[in-house]
Amino acid sequence: MQREEKQLEASVESLISRVAYVKNALHSFIYKLENEYDRLTWPSVLDNFALLSGQLNTINKLLKNEKTPSYRSQVIIPLLLSPDRDDDLAKLTEQRVPVFSHEIVPDYLRTKPDPEVEEQEKQLSAEAARIGPEVAQKQIQTLNKLCSGLLEKLNNPRDEREAESSALRQNKPSFNPADTNALVGAVAFGKGLSKCRPPGPVAPGLPGQGPLMSGGPTLQQVTIGGGSGQQPSMGGPVSQQQGQPGKMPSSIKTNIKSASGSMHPYNR
């Protein structure tokens, strides 16, 4: 019981403060409308409305809060009514309620909604009764579905959405650097194209490798030979190399022999 009382007190206090905020906002808004109407711009009016709606939202949230006890179950009964002016009350209510008398009690302590609101509620409930429970249920379900779908889309992290749109925009990579290298190699020295080789560079092999080898060495062999410098493998039956790159005799199958030093009969 104590706890409930305490809860009630606390919630009433917060409610009062929220309502005070709303009151202040309304106050300033009305002031602006009345005094500065010629300078007022639509965006600032919108701002005010937004503020008010935000505050009303907070109040709603507060009321829905589980910690808030149900005010419906509370009843306010006036204990003492007097037609005399009550200064304290007046101060509390900022001169709006100076007297706690029989006239003001029905208005301020009423539990039923305002007449207009009552009227609207009656209309709504008439319509509700009119459409029938099954139709209503169906409509409720569709509404819920739509809202949940919308919420999902809106709530999903923005990155997902951006990711999929950017994926559409962004071209899939239109070139492959590995392919570039392969093609350049093929054009420059026939990597992968040599007629008697499997694609790929060839390990320095024994002479005579490959059945269709013609006299001259191929690019692959020679380059690797040039690179390593030790065993340039030369196919073909012409002449053995001497392992000294500088003094290799020519293996060209022509009659043109260059006058190399090693071929000179009197050399060495």
Partner 1 sequence: QPLKYKYDSIYKWTWTYNRSPQVLQLISKKRSLSTAAAVLLRGAEKLSKSVAENMENRRQRDFNSELLRLRSQWKLRKVGDKILGDLSYRSAGSLFPHHGTFEVIKNTDIDLDKKVPEDYCPLNVQIPSDLEGSAYIKVSIQKQAPDIGDLGTISLFRRQPKSKAGAQPWHVKLEAAQNVLLCKEIFAQLSREAVQIKSQIPHIVVKNQIISQPFPGLQLSISLCHSSGEKKSQRAAPEKPKADDHLYVLEHNLHQMIREFHKQQLSSVLMPHPATAPFGHKRLRLAGPQAYTKAQISSVQQGQGLLEKIIKQAKHIFLRSRTARTIDSLASRIEDPQIQAHWSNINDVYESSVKVLITSQGYEQICKSIQLQLNIGVEQIRVVHRDGRVVTLSHQEQELQDFLLSQMSQHQVHAVQQLAKVMGWHVLSFSNHVGLGSIESVGNASAVTVASPNGDYAISVRNGPESGCKVLVQFPRNQSKELQKGDVVLDSKWSHLRGPYREVHWSKMEGRNFVYKMELLMAALTPAP
Partner 2 sequence: MEAPPVTVMPVTGGTINMMEYLLQGSVLDQALDSLLHRLRGLCDNMEPETFTDHELVYLLKGQQGNPFILRARRSLSHPTAPWHLRYLGQPEVGDKSRHALVRNCVDVATSHSLPEFLNEMGFRMDHEFVANGHIFRKGAMKVVVTKLSRILVPGNTENIERLSLSYLVELSVLAPAGQDTVSEDMRSFAEQLKPLVHLEKIDPSKQRH
- Footprint of partner 2 on this chain (CB under 8 A)? 171-177, 179-195, 201, 214-219, 222-223, 225-227, 232, 245, 248, 250-254, 256, 258-261
Contact call for residue 124 and partner 1 (CB under 8 A): yes
From residue 218 to residue 257, the character string flagging contacts with partner 1 as x (rule: CB under 8 A) and all else as - is: ----------------------------------------
Contact call for residue 110 and partner 1 (CB under 8 A): no
- Nearest one of 267, 125, 231, 3 to 11, comparing CA atoms: 3
Q: How far apart are CA 233 and CA 211, in angstroms?
A: 15
Measured from the CB atom, the residue of 30 and 109 that comes closer to partner 1 is 109
Q: How far apart are CA 259 and CA 157, in angstroms?
A: 80
From the list partner 1, partner 2, none, partner contacted by residue 50 (C-beta under 5 to 8 A by kind): none
Q: How far apart are CA 174 and CA 188, in angstroms?
A: 23
Contact call for residue 188 and partner 1 (CB under 8 A): no
Q: How far apart are CA 37 and CA 31, in angstroms?
A: 9
Number of residues that bind partner 1 (CB under 8 A): 28
Measured from the CB atom, the residue of 111 and 171 that comes closer to partner 1 is 111
Among 42, 64, 67, 80, binds partner 1 (CB under 8 A): 80
What is the nearest approach in angstroms of partner 2 to the Cβ of residue 188? 4
From residue 24 to residue 63, the character string flagging contacts with partner 1 as x (rule: CB under 8 A) and all else as - is: ----------------------------------------
From the list partner 1, partner 2, none, partner contacted by residue 214 (C-beta under 5 to 8 A by kind): partner 2
Q: How far apart are CA 53 and CA 11, in angstroms?
A: 20
Q: How far apart are CA 5 and CA 185, in angstroms?
A: 87
Q: Is 234 exposed, middle or buried (0-12, 13-18, 19+ CB in 10 A)?
A: buried
Q: How far apart are CA 203 and CA 221, in angstroms?
A: 8
From the list partner 1, partner 2, none, partner contacted by residue 80 (C-beta under 5 to 8 A by kind): partner 1
Contact call for residue 84 and partner 1 (CB under 8 A): no
Beta-carbon count within 10 A of 221 CB: 23
Burial 202-216 (b: 16+ CB within 10 A, else e): beeeebebeeebeee
Among 100, 191, 233, 235, binds partner 1 (CB under 8 A): 100
Q: How far apart are CA 125 and CA 131, in angstroms?
A: 10
3-state secondary structure (DSSP) of residue 94: coil
Region 2-21 residues binding partner 1, contact defined as CB under 8 A: 9, 12
Q: Is 232 exposed, middle or buried (0-12, 13-18, 19+ CB in 10 A)?
A: buried
Contact residues: partner 1, CB under 8 A: 9, 12, 70, 72-81, 88-89, 92, 100, 109, 124-125, 127-128, 131, 133, 136, 139-140, 143
